[in-house]
Amino acid sequence: MRRTTALLMTSLLASAAALAAPTAAQARGTADTPTTGSCVAYLSGPFGVGVCSGLEPRRAWSVGAKCMSGITVTSGLRLGDGTATANCGPSRAYSTWYSIGPILP
């Protein structure tokens, strides 16, 4: 069961990252955009922070950040309302975004 869950989360994050450009994720709606609720992503030092509220409890989402060191980091997969962080470690984040995925069964 743990392997199945880990595999599903990994594929969802990879799909979301491949489909969403850092600036386009907030700019345009897609089939995966929730019809209710809202999300926002912002910078806080070495973190990219995402906050979602009003989402369906099984709606998958994550937040990502581009670090000054040149790497891109993402948070873990979240479901429904909550807060997520992407940590650049000792580097600072300079760009952040959120990705909204499907409703999980």
DSSP assigned state of 35: S
23-57, pLDDT tens digit by residue? Answer: 333 433 444 554 578 999 999 989 999 999 999 99
Q: Are strands 38-44 and 78-79 parallel, antiparallel or unpaired?
A: unpaired
| pTM reported for the whole predicted model | 0.65
Cα–Cα distance measured from residue 70 to residue 105, given in angstroms and rounded to the nearest whole number: 36
Query: What are the sequence ranges of the domains in the chain?
Result: 2-103
Q: Residue 104 is encoded by which pair of tokens? A: 């999980």
87's tokens: 């940590």
Query: Which tens digits make up the pLDDT trace of 53-87?
Result: 999 999 999 999 999 999 999 999 999 999 999 99
Q: H or E stretch including 7?
A: helix 2-19
Which residues on neighbouring strands pair with residue 72, listed in sequence order? 66
DSSP class of residue 80 equals S
What does the angle CA 10 – CA 22 – CA 105 come to, to the nearest 5 degrees?
Answer: 35
Closest of 34, 18, 3, 14 to residue 102, by C-alpha: 34
